[in-house]
Structure 1
Amino acid sequence: MHYVHESGTMLGASRRVVGFIPRRLLSVRQVHGDGDAEELLRFHKSRGQHILVNPRILDTIVRKSAIKPTDTILEIGPGTGNLTLRLLEAAHKVVAFEIDHRMVQVLEKRVLQRGFINKLRVIERDAMKAPFPRFDLVVANIPYQISSPLMIKLVYGPTPFRSATLLLQKEFARRLMANPGDSGSNRLSVNVKLLADVELVMDVSKRDFLPSPKVDSSVVIIRPKPQVPNVDLREWRAFTMVCFNNRNKTLGASFKNKRRVLELLKISNEYNESSPHEGDDAQDEGEFTSFKEKIIGVLRTGEFEDKRPSKLSFEELLHLLSLFNQSGIYFGHREQLKREDKFDADDE
């Protein structure tokens, strides 16, 4: 197996050396073509450490990002800096989140050698647990395990931005591209696409990374919409969580679930500043039955009972949420949702 570094030359001479090195233990020179050949780094799969080494793909990502000389770029998971160096050439500043201090050391050494150190700010914190500073664009080969929560943090976050160019797992990107009403429509795509447009730029082979991941990737660009529906976003996200809990079931079947009805009854009473009866099983049962009938009544009024959430358009989903709220049925607790940034695999 041959490797390609940033200059595009083949590293065939390293083949015999690689044969004696564990799969995820690679020299810095093997990964990006400079540095000390004896300086070894262990790349951790659990942290999504796969370095993009194909110069053509790196250049395309930067070009498609439409970076202005005045832009501040947010990069998450820069690794050893193959993409970072290109971003620093094009932008005013790069703010990079990297939790692995070993990677930070290599990154800062390379940036210093290229004379860009004053344009780089490295934050050694988990990007999902820290507030983002002001930025204009996001350009990143992100760790795949944070793809879903990162999407929500960006799109629903308080910081406005022009676009986000992201390298994602190919399968994940395809789910993200699904439109409401398509057979592949899912909770992640309807949440992201409510507020942003998503463009597929290109697919990227797993062979373009070191160490090589198990799957291919795709580059997508996310652009926030200038105008979005007038809806309570907290309530919308809680609503889609319920609808897409099992997207292959009809809405009638999903909303007849006893646990689901009890949960919505509690939330709705909380929202309406009332509380269910306590200590009287007959009254409690009566309230439950009445509330369940109200839910089914809403579904039937809008002719949604036999429909599946994956087949509904944005307009239909928004209309259904409006019908529920008008009937005093709510989905989001008044406090922040505990799982608001978490998407399970089945929900994507």
Structure 2
Amino acid sequence: MLQPQCSKSLSTCLFRIILRRQSLLQQLRAKSSRRYNPQDDDDDGDKVRKKHENQEGYIHFYKSMGQHILTNPRVLHSIVQKSDVRPTDTVLEIGPGTGNLTLKLLEKAEKVIAVEIDKRMVDVLHQRAAEQGLADKLTVISKDALKTEFPQFDLVVANIPYGISSPLVAKLVFGVNPFRSATLLLQKEFAKRLLANPGDSEFNRLAVNVKLVAEVEFVMNVSKRDFLPCPRVYSSVVKIRPKAEIPHVDLDEWWAFTRTCFRKKNKTLGATFKQKKNLYELLKLSRLTGSDEQNAVTPSGSESELNLFRDKMIAILKSSGFGDKRPSKLSNEELLHLLSLFNQAGIIFHVRSKPRNTGDDEAFASSCSSL
């Protein structure tokens, strides 16, 4: 049996352990509940750099720049394998970071063009390629991927910064450079939107526009623990293959049409095209001539004129059976058919005052950023 003094000492120790545990739990809760602030990257970076400033090869990764480096060798190997890189291929890699994926691509391809905006990463890329004797196969473009014109390439293989996923995918699939496929590591939620089909809850304008010109295939999921630093989201790899034949449609007209339809993707088309805002916009556009916009007559906006235009649109929707249908459940073929019916009736969704310069990649990516 414990003596009173020993019992008291044991109780004190247990009490201290409990207090210590409660203190640690409170610290963990406070840390996990603190909201992320991009400025923290810089603050934490300063502290870490001061701590490790004498360590050779140390690099601080900025989460605010989307710098999450894929480190799992098995995942890297799988991505390269699924990309079907040929010995004669020129591979475009966007956001290579420190070159983990780049080195594996250099081993398989004839040439790798890496687009990296961070000068620190550029230095690391050159150094690592030289150490492996692969420097002559690597070309680095130190520019913003959305603001530079890509040279010719056969494949795209990349762990792209998630913040530019939409405009970058649009720039690739609607750009002037033909390519065989693009194997991309994306945020999982974005990948699900890209893969969605009519009727899926994730089906959206992005999927509609991309699938007009390309096929999208799911490859695999990637855990957030496979990155450094660890992101807050899970990731997926998808493979995009441009279609050999695409529908004959004016892309600007198509984008404007899908923008109108998918503003409220679950609303019926009849309800969408009865809205006064949409009617006014389309009435004005339908009175314009694409070749002479300055001399075009703008609508007076009278109620009677608007009603006539609305009746015209509703008649087209009813006669074609689209009045009660919802964009979220329509295939591209159905949407293309409806657009052609509108155009044949003189209803247009976009007026181009001058031909789009497809070589102007910066402006092009910007115009596609809301896909």
TM-score bin (small chain)? 0.7 to 0.9
Q: Normalization by structure 1: what TM-score?
A: 0.84
Task: Report the CA distance between 1:24 and its aligned residue.
Answer: 10
Q: What is the CA-CA distance between 1:133 and the residue it aligns to? A: 0.7
Residue 22 of structure 1, CA deviation? 4.4
The whole-number CA distance in structure 1 between the counterparts of 2:149 and 2:276 is 38
- Cα deviation code 1:13-33 (max 9, x no counterpart): xxxxxxxx9489879xx9xxx
In 2, distance between residues paired with 1:97 and 1:243?
A: 35
**CA distances 1:163-190 after superposition (whole Å, capped 9, x unpaired):** 0000001111111111234343210111
For the 8 Å contact 1:269–1:275, the answer to whether it is kept is yes
| CA-to-aligned-CA distance 1:255-308 (integer Å, 9 cap, x gap) | 222222222222222236573457xx5x74433332222222222221212211
Shift of 1:315: 1.8
Q: Distance between the aligned counterparts of 1:302 and 1:49, measured in 2? A: 49
TM-score scaled by structure 2? 0.79
Instruction: String of CA shifts for 1:39-79, please: whole Å, max 9, x gaps.
Output: 33221222210000000000000011111111000110001
Partner of 2:368: 341
Asked if structure 1 preserves the Cα contact closer than 8 Å seen for 2:284 and 2:298, the reply is no
CA distance, structure 1, for counterparts of residue 286 and residue 316 of structure 2? 15
Contact 2:288-2:297 within 8 A present in 1 as well: no
Aligned mates of 2:333, 2:105 — CA distance in 1: 39
| Amino acid of the structure 1 residue aligned with 2:206 | L
* Whole-Å separation in 2 of the counterparts to 1:183 and 1:142: 25
Correspondence 1:134 to 2:152: yes
Are residues 167 and 316 of structure 1, via their aligned partners in 2, closer, same or farther at CA, if it must alter by over 3 Å? same
Question: Could you tell me whether the CA contact under 8 Å between 2:269 and 2:327 is conserved in 1?
Answer: yes
The whole-number CA distance in structure 1 between the counterparts of 2:309 and 2:149 is 40
Q: How does 1:124-203 map to 2 (within 5 A)?
A: 124-203=142-221
Given that 1:152 and 1:192 are in contact with CA atoms closer than 8 Å, whether structure 2 keeps it comes out as: yes
Structure 2: segments with no counterpart, 5+ residues: 1-42, 357-362
Match of 2:296 among 275, 297, 315: 275
Which runs of 5 or more structure 1 residues have no equivalent in the other structure? 1-20, 31-35
Distance 1:26 1:322, change over 3 A: farther
1:246-257 map, 5 Å: 246-257=264-275
- Partner of residue 112, structure 2: 94
CA distance, structure 2, for counterparts of residue 176 and residue 26 of structure 1: 37
What SS is found at the alignment partner of 1:99? coil
Q: Which has the higher helix share?
A: 2
**CA separation in 2, counterparts of 1:270 and 1:95?**
44
Match of 1:286 in 2: 304
Q: Which residue of 2 aligns with 1:326?
A: 344
Distance in 2 of aligned mates of 1:24 and 1:51: 20
Partner of 1:12: none
Q: CA deviation at 1:250?
A: 1.6
Contact in 1 for aligned 2:288/2:298 (Cα 8 Å): no
Change in Cα spacing, 1:138 to 1:254, as seen in structure 2 (3 Å) is same
Question: Is the deviation greater in 171-180 or in 266-275?
Answer: 266-275
Task: Name whichever of 132-141 and 243-252 sits farther off.
Answer: 243-252
> In 2 relative to 1, CA 324–210 (structure 1 residues): closer, same or farther, beyond 3 Å?
same
SS class of match (1:199)? strand
Greater shift, 68-77 or 39-48, is seen at 39-48
SS at match of 1:41: coil
Find the residue that maps to 1:140 and give its secondary structure. strand
In 2, the alpha carbon distance for the partners of 1:306 and 1:149 equals 32
Q: Which has the larger radius of gyration?
A: 2
The 8 Å contact of residues 65 and 161 in structure 2, kept in 1 or not, is answered as yes
Secondary structure of the 1:168 match is: strand
1:42 to 2:69 alignment: no
1:211 paired residue number: 229
Contact 1:23 1:211 in 2 (8 A): no
Task: Map residues 105-124 of structure 1 onto 2, 5 A cutoff.
Answer: 105-124=123-142
When the two chains are superposed, the root-mean-square deviation of aligned CA atoms in Å is: 2.4
Contact kept in structure 2, 1:26 and 1:40, CA below 8 Å: no
Q: CA deviation at 1:233?
A: 2.1
Is the CA contact 1:140–1:166 (under 8 Å) kept in the aligned structure 2? Answer: yes
